[in-house]
Amino acid sequence: MTMYDVIVPVNLLFASQPRLAASRRSCTDSGTMSTFPIPIVVLTAMEAVDCIFQGRGNVASYHQDCVASGLCQPDISETDFLLNFRRRIRGLRWNPFCHRPIISDLQNDCLIVQDGIELCCLSKALGKSWVKVSMPEDVHARWLARSTDDLDNAVVRFSRKSFYNPVEHPAYRKAKIGRPDSIRLDRIRKLLGPIGPGLCGLDIGCNMGYTSHHLQRQGFRMTGIDYDENHLAVARALTTTYGLDVRFENCYFRQFQTDKPFDVVVALTVLYHMFYRQEEQDIPECSRMDKGAVMKKLDALTRHALLWESGPDPGREIDFIRSNSGLTDYYSLGPTQGTGKKRELGVFLRPDSSLNDYLKKRHAAHFAGR
């Protein structure tokens, strides 16, 4: 079989593993989840690689997975497994001739890694955004068929010189990006784990749709809203490039109408604009909605979780959200860096939500004490 070497975004690398699919079914009640691929940052292999690089956590889950799938001897102790694993990772890191990860499929715009998961996780841990992989001819043809025509037109139409977030396409690999890293996405994925299929999400102030697109890749039915048509033109064009079907609506949050709440609401560096900045700037379309009314609407729209990134004063926003909504449980996902500014990423949960226990456990496993 002819294989092609291609450079691809690390954030499009997913795995489809039957054992992981089985464990996913136990996370929620939905039986439809097993066909959906899992982003590599959610894999136990990533936990194990992080354990080596950051000295936190352990390799126990990956050890169990490797034993269960026959990738290592059933009687190997965790200590020996860790020693071998560390040696293997060191070898991969320093051997420029090691085999490239092999991609077996392009599913729902996710590159399915068939072989070389550890190298993919290593690339992620080393902070790489792109990695060289090998793919067979049919996958390669589908990969190349992701056209950027609509995006190219939007860029020309709006004289766009840069993007807020990365574009997951080789033609825009060198584009100027406001927030080039994917720290927020990685943390959100680690918190959510393999859930997505059967759930819906709303991304407020979605800009070019970066988070919406990524959450839809892992199975969420996503809606993104933003008042800026320039940003939404990019979001829509990228939806075509990626072959996804996120619904984007050009409106202010105040104007957004829906007849049902969303399982997960995403509001990254946008509530601060709505609560404080837009009042101060007296934007006509927003001035009629004070922050109490914004919060009431947000509360009604959020069924389980509000994923949030702050403005310059996280404490002020946290207090306001907790005391003006049913989203009273707050868990920090750590500090972040906006476009040169310090921010905080976190999640607000409802104490009575059916996802509360699941998300709290994932938070304890991946974020507590960090």
Ligand X SMILES: C[S@@+](CC[C@H](N)C(=O)[O-])C[C@H]1O[C@@H](n2cnc3c(N)ncnc32)[C@H](O)[C@@H]1O
What is the smallest separation between the CB atom of 204 and ligand X, expressed in angstroms? 6
User: Residues touching ligand X: how many (CB under 6 A)?
Assistant: 20
Report the residue closest to ligand X, judged by CB: 205
Tell how strand 329-337 and strand 247-250 pair up.
Answer: unpaired
What is the smallest separation between the CB atom of 87 and ligand X, expressed in angstroms? 39
What single DSSP character describes residue 197? T
Residue 191 in tokens: 């918190």
Cα separation, 289 vs 276, in Å, equals 11
Tell how strand 302-309 and strand 262-268 pair up.
Answer: parallel
Q: Hey, what long-range contacts does 323-329 have (CB within 8 A, 24 or more apart)?
A: 324/292, 324/295, 324/296, 324/299, 325/295, 325/296, 325/298, 325/299, 326/299, 326/350, 326/351, 326/352, 327/299, 327/302, 329/356, 329/360
Contacts of 53 (CB under 8 A, 6+ apart): 125
225 binds ligand X (CB under 6 A): yes
212 binds ligand X (CB under 6 A): no
Cα separation, 279 vs 290, in Å, equals 8
What is the smallest separation between the CB atom of 33 and ligand X, expressed in angstroms? 26
Dmax (CA) of the chain:
68
163 binds ligand X (CB under 6 A): no
273 binds ligand X (CB under 6 A): yes
Mark the segment that binds ligand X (CB under 6 A) among 28-36, 123-131, 204-212, 358-366. 204-212
What is the smallest separation between the CB atom of 95 and ligand X, expressed in angstroms? 36
274 binds ligand X (CB under 6 A): yes
249 binds ligand X (CB under 6 A): no
Mark the segment that binds ligand X (CB under 6 A) among 77-85, 193-201, 223-231, 322-330. 223-231
Tell how strand 302-309 and strand 342-349 pair up.
Answer: antiparallel
**Binding track, positions 277-316, relative to ligand X; x by CB under 6 A:** ---------x----------------------x-------
Footprint of ligand X on this chain (CB under 6 A)?
A: 164-165, 205-207, 210, 225-228, 231, 252-253, 268-270, 273-274, 286, 309
